[in-house]
Amino acid sequence: MLDRHTIDTVKSTLPLLAEAGPALTAHFYQRMFHHNPELKEVFNLSHQHSGRQPAALFDAIAAYGTHLEDLSVLTAAVERIAHKHTGFLIEPAQYAIVGEHLLATLRELGGEAVTDEVIEAWGKAYGVLAQIFIDREAALYQQAAEQSGGWQGTRPFRIQAKIAESALITSFELVPVDGGAVPNYQPGQYLSLKLTHPSLPHTEYRQYSLSEQSNGERLRITVKRDGQVSSLLHDQFQPGDVLEVIPPAGDFVLATDADKPVTLISAGVGITPMWAMLETRLGQSAAPTHWLHACDNGEHHALKAALQGKLAQSPMLQSVVWYRQPNADDRLGLDYHFTGLMQVGDVADALPLEGDFYLCGPQPFMATVVEQLRQLGVADSRIHYELFGPHQAL
């Protein structure tokens, strides 16, 4: 544990961090990549360019410094980040590198206020946090390796099938090259790929939601064409090709009791973890399940035919779909029910507002929907969500 003097010293610098803002973490990343370019393989550079990763790291540092007396407040955040880290095969030694550059950044940007005493205090505080992550990630690695069909590191999987789900979204069904067992996973978790290809300047890690319920036979991911790596998967990787796969991970999972109602809400490719939840839910529960989805139009409506099949088989499943700009051949009342952006209030009377709500989609979409749910009286404790990429509060 940290002593009182260290805690007070760290907290005294929080106004300095607030003044610097995400520029501090942007400088940190630039510094680290300059001195340790090998870490470019670990961090998604598109999130660097968008500013999402520096902003997320700044928020994490500020939260950690604020709650040094009671780190249990950060348990959920630590769990989420630790799962993400296992998908990048983060090793304990890398925490030392990150710590070195964080402290150097504080010294370089903090001016006279950042004394040796401040650096020492932040060094101690960072050491405690790093050990929390190292210990939790070690446990997750061990858990993934010891379960039936599990492994640690990467394992080669062959693309068994490649299925176009919409104009921009394609599913990849993967089976292990060694013919061994496939581990079970929880609905909502994701799979990580370690990708190398002549067109890529360095190894890339990407995480994609598992888009069907666990079946012990294969792993299916569903990928939107959105950037260099996802386009590479769409264009270059075909059935028979082999991908290096990292075990399933993620803490955004369906955790509602089978006898309680659930509403699954998604937009665009955010449908992918929701679909695994839906399949699992329908196989386990006779309670009401509501499915709300938004996309541009029928051309971009992934898994539309599969949804119609579920509706025909499951009387306790209710679906409402919003098309932002329907095409001429999209059928109101059949393919979709509302035009424009999702407005949960349109169907609030039919929703079990006392139940749990699971959301996935673009950040602006989810921020809007979360606010709509709050206005309808849904408690934050019953709103669960996943952001693709660095996590942000909504």
The reply to whether 269 sits in an annotated binding site is: yes
The reply to whether 206 sits in an annotated binding site is: yes
Cα distance between residue 252 and residue 385, in whole Å: 7
The reply to whether 389 sits in an annotated binding site is: yes
The reply to whether 271 sits in an annotated binding site is: yes
DSSP string, 211-236: -S---SS-EEEEEE--SHHHHHHHHH
Residue 156 DSSP label: E
The reply to whether 67 sits in an annotated binding site is: no
End-to-end CA distance of the chain: 31
Strands 219-224 and 169-176: antiparallel
The reply to whether 273 sits in an annotated binding site is: yes
The reply to whether 288 sits in an annotated binding site is: no
Cα distance between residue 343 and residue 318, in whole Å: 16
Cβ density class 8-40: b for 16+ within 10 Å, e for less: ebbeebeebbeebebebbbbbbebbbeeeeebb
Yes or no: say if 223 and 230 are a contact pair by the CB < 8 Å rule.
Answer: yes
The reply to whether 209 sits in an annotated binding site is: yes
| 3-state per-residue secondary structure call for 259-304 | CCCEEEEEEHHHHHHHHHHHHHHHHHCCCCEEEEEEECCHHHCCCH
Written as one letter, the residue type at 378 is V
The one catalytic residue in 29, 137, 205, 279 is 137
Yes or no: say if 298 and 329 are a contact pair by the CB < 8 Å rule.
Answer: yes
The reply to whether 29 sits in an annotated binding site is: no
Note the residue count of the chain.
Answer: 394
Yes or no: say if 232 and 197 are a contact pair by the CB < 8 Å rule.
Answer: yes
Cα distance between residue 22 and residue 354, in whole Å: 38
Annotated catalytic, 358?
A: no
Annotated catalytic, 95?
A: yes
Residue 65 is encoded by which pair of tokens?
Answer: 């410094």
The reply to whether 358 sits in an annotated binding site is: no
Dihedral through CA 79, CA 29, CA 207, CA 201, nearest 10?
-160
The reply to whether 331 sits in an annotated binding site is: no
The reply to whether 270 sits in an annotated binding site is: yes
The reply to whether 388 sits in an annotated binding site is: yes
Element (H, E) at 322: strand 317-323
46 φ, ψ to 5°? -65, -35
Residue 325 DSSP label: S
Residue 259 is encoded by which pair of tokens?
Answer: 């006898």
The one catalytic residue in 95, 185, 205, 385 is 95
Q: Binding-site residues for FAD, please?
A: 190, 206-209, 387-390
Residues identified as active-site: 95, 137
Q: Binding-site residues for NADP(+), please?
A: 268-273
Q: Binding-site residues for heme b, please?
A: 85
